Amino acid sequence: MTAEALLAWARGPGMQIALAVFFLGITVRIVEMLLIGRAPDLAAPRKSGVAAGWRTVFHRSLPTPGMLKRSPLVFVGGYIFHLGFLIVLVLSVPHIELFHGVWGIRWPGLPRSLIDLAAILSIGAMVALLVHRLVDPVRRFLSRSGDYFAWTVTFLPLITGYFATHHMLLPYTQMLAVHILSIELLLIVLPFTKLIHTFTLFLSRWYNGAIAGRKGVAS
Amino acid sequence: MTSLENGINAFVEQIDTPIASFFNSCVHCGMCADACLFYTETGDPKYTPIHKLEPMRRVWKRNFTFWGKLAAMLGLSKPVTDAELEEWEPLIYDSCTLCGRCSMVCPVGNDITYMIRKAREGMVAAGHAPDGLKGATVRAVEIGSPMGVTWKTVQAQIKHAEQDTGLTIPVDVENAEYMVLMSSMEVVNFPEYMGAIARIFDQAGVSWTLCSDAIEATNSGIQIGSSDIAAQLVQRIVDGAEKLKVKTVISPECGHAYTAIRWEGANLIGRPYSFKVLHILEVLDELREQGRLQTEGMETAKLTFHDPCQLVRRGGVVEEPRRLLNMVASNFVEMPDAGVWNWCCGGGGGVSANERADELRLKVFSRKKAQLDAVGVETLVTACSNCRIMLEDGAEANNMDLQIVGMAETIAAHLPTKTSTTATEESSS
């Protein structure tokens, strides 16, 4: 298969398969979770849990007092990785062109130098977090193959995207095909790995906030 | 059915949408470890809170997820074994006080404490609960108190309190505003509580009563994780309160009793209450706000307040003790991390009833000691008799010169002398 044919497959059928698995997978995982259900709380509430639930959805993105000092690398590395990944995904011009092709809407992108910076910071943070996972006693103790697998499939789109835009390692067409395939791999495995936290964390935070909020407890 | 099957079934029964969402969301970032005093004080990664839930996670995965069910069908995953549950027993019971700090730091929002509380249901059903806690639970069911305190002992305390205060302690009075519950520890170790309540309520003109059928507020069923037993213990209180037709039931100076009666009780018995439940701190603060609680004089000794976890992090009682202490103490200082971030005494969540955990509990007391050393106080006030015993134990083990007192007695010590007509009548009769 030539690089062009591989790229064409990745852009066409490959992407469609990946998106189908992704959306179907997410739906199945969320539905199987919601179907379990939850007993109503019969205790007289101090106040409604709804507001606290929503507040916690957002507020839990901020570090809690003292914890920034206790786990600085996890916090700082976590922020840089997530924000960098998001910036590259949503604000790089080639990605915006792709979204425009699918949804017909367009938004302003960032200059390539800034996208490069976000990508490098995100890649650096991921490497630091991986080293921390391997070296820190708690993280190493908690980590299973799934954690390293999730790291790898998240890392690949970042690094191959960077290589592709900078014409490194492989010819551009080949690297672009690899980049798109790595995104498809990420899409396919996301619903079935811990990467599903991308979606479920909002529900988890909401439950945490709502359970605490009914009792008038900070969350 | 084997006890292992019972345990697995109990896990399955406990797993709900929040728990599934929590397990799905965990990214193994390890931040919960930094919030847990059992990890911070030992440095042992096995005390990472989310790790304590590994057996429950595997039950969830096998029974509630698409791939887990598929893997189980194809024989590709190993079910949880009895040996594993045995291994996890000390993690779930000895090294978790259900303090709730991990639930407040988890970046994806997992309420890990909620999960551990539920995981204990599976553990006890599988027969893997600590002997100390089992004994306390059996005594609670059979005798009515985890410490084996009988109504006779309470009556002796009533007599003492009446002699000390010159007041009548009301028992089984119908239609009283408040029904006062106690913890066995208050009956046995801190009899000053009953006298303090009698004097404060007398001064404030409050109608109250004890109930001879329902004096015990603590709930070993909650701590060991047996909803059936917990419900039975709550039902005694509900029956007592409904029989006496009281408006409000007062949870004593105890942390988990408040969680048991205020937040879990209605769910355990399957219906809402016909009465209100307040912690004694809430009642005292209400009386203060209404101007019915008058005090005179101030403690001048430097003092601080230890927030019981179940009140401050799981119960929503935070500002009340501070407003009350400011009424009677001129040198009230806060420990670092006081309030919603306070560190546990080390003996909550049933740990104090579990002798096996004593050594570990005293080891992790170093966290509390550091907090106390930072402020250097003479007096430590708290509002939980279990915390109080644990603090006394820890202070003694560390040769700390510290007076540890309860809130009600601290307030009662500053009541104006003979302002209430009842007290005057009583003392002159």
Write the single-letter amino acid at A32.
Answer: E
Go through B372-393 and write b for each residue having 16 or more CB atoms within 10 A of its CB, e for each that does not. beeeebebbbbbbbbbbbbbbb
Question: Would you state the pLDDT for residue A66?
Answer: 78
Q: How confident is the model at residue B421 (pLDDT cuts 50, 70, 90)?
A: very low
Q: How confident is the model at residue B2 (pLDDT cuts 50, 70, 90)?
A: confident
Across A184-193, B209-218, B256-265, B413-422, least confident range: B413-422
Structure tokens at A72: 């600085």
Please determine, for residue B420, whether its predicted confidence score (pLDDT) is greater than 80. Answer: no
Same domain, B124 and B143: no
Q: Where in B94-153 does DSSP place strands (E)?
A: none
In a domain, B396, yes or no: yes
| Residue in A closest to B264 by C-alpha | A43
Same domain, B287 and B144: yes
Domain that holds residue B239: 139-291+417-423
Residue B415 CB-density burial (10 A; 0-12 exposed, 13-18 middle, 19+ buried): buried
Domain ranges of chain A: 59-143, 144-219
Nearest to B111 among A44, A197, A208 (CB): A208
Same domain, B229 and B341: no
Q: Is A138 close to B276, i.e. CB distance below 8 A?
A: no
CB neighbour list of residue B146: distance below 8 Å, 6 or more residues apart: B136, B137, B139, B140, B184, B216, B218, B220, B353
Structure tokens at B174: 């119908």
**What is the end-to-end Cα distance of chain A in Å, rounded?**
55
Same domain, B210 and B335: no
Q: Where in chain A does DSSP place strands (E)?
A: none
Same domain, B170 and B275: yes
pLDDT digits (tens, 9 = 90+) for A24-58: 999 999 999 999 999 999 999 999 999 999 999 99
Q: How confident is the model at residue B418 (pLDDT cuts 50, 70, 90)?
A: low
Pseudo-torsion of CA A17, A22, A25, A28, nearest 10°? -110
Same domain, B103 and B167: no
Phi, psi of B79 (to 5 degrees): -70, 160
Instruction: Work out the average pLDDT over A127-144.
Output: 97
**What is the end-to-end Cα distance of chain B in Å, rounded?**
65
Residue B251 sits in a domain of what CATH number?
1.20.1050
Please determine, for residue B102, whether its predicted confidence score (pLDDT) is greater than 70. Answer: yes
Closest CA–CA distance from residue A204 to any residue of chain B (Å): 5
How far is CA B92 from its chain centroid? 17
Instruction: Work out the average pLDDT over B155-181.
Output: 96
- Chain A positions touching B266 (Cβ under 8 A) are 42-44
Same domain, B124 and B149: no
Q: Is B109 close to A57, i.e. CB distance below 8 A?
A: yes
- Chain B positions touching A207 (Cβ under 8 A) are 17-18, 21-22, 109, 111
Same domain, B268 and B310: no
Q: Is B24 close to A29, i.e. CB distance below 8 A?
A: yes
Go through A152-187 and write b for each residue having 16 or more CB atoms within 10 A of its CB, e for each that does not. ebbbbbbbbbbbbbeeeebebebbbbbbbbbbbbbb
Chain A interface includes B28 (CB < 8 A)? yes
Same domain, B314 and B372: yes
In a domain, B134, yes or no: no
In a domain, B203, yes or no: yes
Angle at B253 between CA B252 and CA B255, to 5 degrees: 100
d(CA B196, CA B22): 44
Please determine, for residue B276, whether its predicted confidence score (pLDDT) is greater than 80. Answer: yes
In a domain, B319, yes or no: yes
Angle at B187 between CA B183 and CA B189, to 5 degrees: 100
Residue-wise DSSP of B259-280: IIIIIIHHHHHTS--SSEEEEH
Same domain, B100 and B217: no
Instruction: Work out the average pLDDT over A188-213.
Output: 97
Nearest to A44 among B31, B108, B272 (CB): B272
d(CA B120, CA B97): 12
Are B253 and B181 in contact by the 8 Å Cβ rule? The answer is no
Same domain, B285 and B144: yes
Write the single-letter amino acid at B267.
Answer: N
Instruction: List the beta bridge partners of residue B382.
Output: B306, B406
Question: Would you state the pLDDT for residue A180?
Answer: 97
How many C-beta atoms lie closer than 10 Å to residue B265's C-beta? 25
How many C-beta atoms lie closer than 10 Å to residue B26's C-beta? 21
Instruction: Work out the average pLDDT over B348-360.
Output: 96
Domain end (from B82, B105, B129)? B129
Q: Is A57 close to B265, i.e. CB distance below 8 A?
A: no
pLDDT digits (tens, 9 = 90+) for A91-126: 999 999 999 988 899 999 999 999 999 999 999 999
Question: Would you state the pLDDT for residue A70?
Answer: 85
Q: How confident is the model at residue B425 (pLDDT cuts 50, 70, 90)?
A: very low
Rounded percentage of chain B residues whose pLDDT exceeds 70: 97
Closest CA–CA distance from residue A216 to any residue of chain B (Å): 5
d(CA A52, CA B218): 29
- Chain A positions touching B335 (Cβ under 8 A) are none
Write the single-letter amino acid at B334.
Answer: E
Please determine, for residue B426, whether its predicted confidence score (pLDDT) is greater than 50. Answer: no
Please determine, for residue A219, whether its predicted confidence score (pLDDT) is greater than 90. Answer: no
Rounded percentage of chain B residues whose pLDDT exceeds 90: 95
d(CA B288, CA A146): 56
In a domain, B429, yes or no: no
Please determine, for residue A63, whether its predicted confidence score (pLDDT) is greater than 90. Answer: no
In a domain, B255, yes or no: yes
Structure tokens at A123: 């890649």
d(CA B381, CA B307): 9
Pseudo-torsion of CA B94, B95, B97, B102, nearest 10°? -160
Closest CA–CA distance from residue B341 to any residue of chain A (Å): 8
Structure tokens at B22: 């929590």
Are B180 and B248 in contact by the 8 Å Cβ rule? The answer is no
Average pLDDT over chain B, rounded to an integer:
95
Residue B60 sits in a domain of what CATH number?
1.10.1060
Angle at B318 between CA B312 and CA B323, to 5 degrees: 150
Q: ipTM of the assembly?
A: 0.96
Same domain, B246 and B323: no
d(CA B104, CA B113): 10
Measured CA to CA in angstroms, residue A131 lies from A139, A142, A145, B101, B117 at distances of 10, 14, 15, 27, 34
Write the single-letter amino acid at A70.
Answer: R
Across A67-71, A175-179, B151-155, least confident range: A67-71
Question: Would you state the pLDDT for residue B157?
Answer: 95
- Measured N-to-C along each axis, helices A49-59 and A197-214 cross at an angle, to the nearest 10 degrees, of 140
Write the single-letter amino acid at A131.
Answer: V
Write the single-letter amino acid at A149.
Answer: F
DSSP state of B344: P
Q: Is B30 close to A136, i.e. CB distance below 8 A?
A: yes
Half-sphere exposure of B423 (CA within 13 A, CB side): 17
Three-state DSSP state, B217 = coil
Across B281-295, B366-380, B410-424, least confident range: B410-424
Structure tokens at B223: 């701590």
- Structural domain tally of chain B? 3
Average pLDDT over chain A, rounded to an integer:
95
Nearest to B45 among A33, A138, A196 (CB): A138
Secondary-structure percent of chain A, ordered helix, strand, coil, rounded to 5: 80, 0, 20
User: Which residue of B12, B24, B222, B286 to mutate against A (max A Cβ within 10 Å)?
Assistant: B24
